Amino acid sequence: MAEQDWLAGQFEHNREHLQAVAYSMLGTVSEAQDAVQEAWLRLQRSEPGAIADLRGWLTTVVGRISLDMLRARKARREVYPGSWLPEPLVDDGAADGPEHEAVLADSVGMALLVVLETLSPAERLSFVLHDVFAVPFDDVAQIMDRTPDSARQLASRARRRVQAAPQPDRDVARQRQVVNAFVAAARGGDFQALLRVLDPDVVFRMDLGPASRLAHRPLVGADAVARQVLATAPQFAHLAQPVLVNGEAGALFGPREKPIAVIGFTIAGGRVAALNLIADTAKLERLAIQP
């Protein structure tokens, strides 16, 4: 019993880290929780005394479980209407203190998660475990039954894809200024002001849920995005509230206890390079907005 209590305590100590690994791999909180729970079951069936590095062992186990889950759901995503977007982590940005800062530091930005969705499961695993969580390529290779050189090549391909995407400005205060300017222009119906705040190649993705008949491909270009925003702004712009979405400036629409939508913004070079709108009711119902 004492050994089980110790093991449970060690697992709880690593739970937040494991949840971050699984979320980075899967993009949804519920699936990440399932992966972490499965890791706990596998730990209980193992020989803990033979595990030299428990945190490393759990990280690779969560990676293996997440890889299997990614492969299993790939076919479902191919028929998803519109854009499938990750489940957002929403925070009102008012809290402070070391614990709050640590949570934000561990957040994987929406922009990165969107790029990760374009990778193969093997590329995503190699990049996330090695580049984000510093897992050695030898361990990554064992998960996939590949050589370390193969895992290194997969991570390199993923890294090039990530680096080719717009790189978000890191100053959250500056991000908020740009988002505020966007919301003000949308509320005021100011087409020219929207064009000034949008990158010429801005991308607008919308995840309206698997049953939506309104879903369509991402919009590209400032003119098309501005027109789409102004077509819907009169109904929703007045409901916008500033929040952090995966540690970056964003907006929540509607009451916090029952939001209508969440937008994650990618601010690059002082302009909006991407808007990722999540209105899937299942994802919004699971939002745990930090007070």
Q: What is the pLDDT of residues 75-119, one digit of tens each?
A: 666 667 778 999 999 987 654 444 444 444 455 899 999 999 999
CA 221 and chain centroid, separation: 23
Cβ atoms of residues 84 and 247 within 8 Å: no
pLDDT for the residue 237: 86
Q: What is the pLDDT of residues 130-172, one digit of tens each?
A: 999 999 999 999 999 999 999 999 999 999 999 999 999 999 9
Neighbours of 71 (CB within 10 A): 12
Domain ranges in the chain with CATH number 3.10.450.50: 172-285
Rounded CA separation 114/179 (Å): 19
Confidence of residue 256 (pLDDT cuts 50, 70, 90): confident
β-strand 198-207 against 271-278: which pairing, if any? parallel
Tokens 């969560």: give the residue: 62
Quickly list H helices, the chain.
Answer: 2-26, 29-44, 54-77, 98-106, 110-116, 121-127, 137-144, 148-164, 172-188, 191-197, 222-236, 281-285
> What is the DSSP-derived secondary structure letter of residue 89?
-
Give the mean pLDDT of the chain: 88
Fold observed for domain 172-285:
Nuclear Transport Factor 2; Chain: A, (3.10.450)
Tell me: pLDDT of 51 over 50.
yes
pLDDT for the residue 43: 92
Domain ranges in the chain with CATH number 1.20.140.160: 2-81+118-164
Class of domain 2-81+118-164: mainly alpha
Q: What is the pLDDT of residues 194-233, one digit of tens each?
A: 999 999 999 999 999 887 777 778 999 999 999 999 998 8
Residues in the chain, how many? Answer: 291
CA angle (32 as vertex; 29, 36 as ends), nearest 5? 135
Q: Give the relative orientation of helices 29-44 and 2-26 as an angle to the nearest 10 degrees.
A: 150
